[in-house]
Structure 1
């Protein structure tokens, strides 16, 4: 390319191109130029730069960016390990030491507490269809009737959340939906390509889906009051959206803390709040208060009243 063409491409002056070419020469980059109407600057064939431009923080972050467990799930564990070895070999010595220290001192464990990573035996088949942009025929088990359905999907991406893999895909209606990979009973790649939606952004779609799910998840509100200790530990018992609502709405109530929170249903809220024992009292709605009262009475009768017929104590 000529200096004029480079200047136009990079939106700088021709003088800047001349200066930068001299700097590249000085740093050992094999650029050479030919004069004349057909001349210009050219990079020596086969030249590759070493990774000397990385900052210390960038080198350290390289070994926090990967998910070795997820790579192994996808059948890429050996490839990731080999790529890391090659990357380490290409780093300058000081950077290599810092990256190694980071890998030795930080470990990412994606699954949440009290649950094991979900087994997804067909994940590699699904991933193959995603990568090669091929149609995927699945037999899928869902929570509503009919419980098992057969679909031909356009697999757009895979998401790992809290140890569970989800497939983002569109079907015959072009509507993009989410499928839990562990619920796929059978899967086969159809050797037929498909065209991805123009401008589809997997991360943006997932974020929007989560927001939409949460907005539809909560169908009502409840007013409860918590002891100071209960308010402090409230986030350990509820989902983040409920905890944030409690923080925003908290007001003093005679030494207790009164909050307004979203609820999915009376039944779900009853179980959620009973986990807190005496640290919480339901004020509204009356239906939820009555539900909690009914469960408490049943428990009191079971543990304090006469033994239930057929129980070990009867």
Structure 2
């Protein structure tokens, strides 16, 4: 039996409310049978855990029960301060709240963890947006924070990449995700869960409609599945290319990681010049042409013929533009 696991189960019930034994088992990495034993041990220790039978039932704590924990370690205090980095909190409209919470947490810690937490807060700064890109404007982000927490539907005017470009939706917001400095909203429109780029919301109004977020919805799991599906849909073809030694060095700065990994796994030498030949994934002929042209003379497209012609036509057009015959 793990005392740490029992504590983790207790804190999960305290913070999340009703949970099934299967959900507890999955989170703790144990069997369902072990989860039942852990719940029984908590009950035997006097923790008011009770079972709610029937569809949608599970285990939960008696209303109002809270455990008070002391003895926070230096590592735990350090992790809490890293979890409250101010950049994303400011985006969400929570900068003052996070700052106040950090001060209260710091004041409540004993001297050792307090000093360690203060050193951590002073040594890390998060700047999420990538280089060469301005942070996106997200004026409606605080509105979506409120909608997620209060479970109110939001009417939006949204700009998307395909026609019709501007559409109206009523969204039931399940969560927000920060990815490489870009905020995304995960929400249900009618019966379908989709992902929306917050910066593309042109107008938003909170409605009086309330909704219940599905109990079995997990934002982290959804996002992982969404990314997997995105990458599968993104790359629909392949191309065979040859790269010079300098092209190989420049590759990570000019193409996505998926292309770099493909070159690393398929590269084969071509002669004694240091050039290699590899097979890379491609989105479309136009997109691949634009990416590979960044490498200039350090890349040659071998196949398919359509991409090879597109590269040649673009280079020829550039030569004409600069007066080179």
TM-score by length of 1: 0.80
Q: Distance in 2 between matches of 1:250 and 1:184?
A: 43
Q: Deviations over 1:34-85 (max 9, x none)?
A: xxxxxxxxxxxx9985642x22222222222223121112211100000000
**Partner residue, 1:21:** none
**Partner residue, 1:184:** 201
For residue 64 of structure 1, give the secondary structure of its aligned residue in structure 2: helix
Q: Which of 246, 249, 259 is the equivalent residue of 1:232?
A: 249
Q: Deviations over 1:260-305 (max 9, x none)?
A: 1000111111110010111111111111111111111222233243
| 2:82 matches 1:64 | yes
**Partner residue, 1:267:** 286
Cα contact 2:87–2:126 (8 A) shared by 1: no
**Partner residue, 2:25:** none
**Partner residue, 2:225:** 208
Q: Distance in 2 between matches of 1:88 and 1:244?
A: 43
Q: Which of 287, 301, 305 is the equivalent residue of 1:286?
A: 305
Is the radius of gyration larger for structure 1 or structure 2?
Answer: 1
Cα contact 1:157–1:168 (8 A) shared by 2: yes
For residue 63 of structure 1, give the secondary structure of its aligned residue in structure 2: helix
The root-mean-square deviation of aligned C-alpha atoms, in Å, is 2.5
Cα contact 1:137–1:153 (8 A) shared by 2: yes
Q: Distance in 2 between matches of 1:123 and 1:188?
A: 12
**Partner residue, 1:222:** 239
Cα contact 1:51–1:90 (8 A) shared by 2: no
For residue 62 of structure 1, give the secondary structure of its aligned residue in structure 2: helix
Cα contact 1:135–1:154 (8 A) shared by 2: yes
Cα contact 1:51–1:92 (8 A) shared by 2: no
For residue 156 of structure 1, give the secondary structure of its aligned residue in structure 2: strand
Q: Distance in 1 between matches of 2:285 and 2:317?
A: 17
Q: Structure 1 segments of 4 or more deviating over 6 A?
A: none
| 2:187 matches 1:157 | no
Q: Distance in 1 between matches of 2:70 and 2:254?
A: 47
What residue ranges of structure 1 are gaps of 5+ in the alignment? Answer: 1-6, 18-45, 307-314
Q: Which of 144, 152, 172 is the equivalent residue of 1:126?
A: 144
Q: Distance in 1 between matches of 2:235 and 2:38?
A: 55
Q: Distance in 1 between matches of 2:66 and 2:289?
A: 67
**Partner residue, 2:125:** 107
Change (3 A) 1:219 1:48: closer
**Partner residue, 2:41:** 11
Q: Distance in 2 between matches of 1:8 and 1:175?
A: 36
TM-score by length of 2: 0.77
| 2:106 matches 1:88 | yes
What residue ranges of structure 2 are gaps of 5+ in the alignment? Answer: 1-36, 46-64
Change (3 A) 1:8 1:266: closer
Cα contact 2:250–2:295 (8 A) shared by 1: no
Q: How many corresponding residue pairs? A: 270
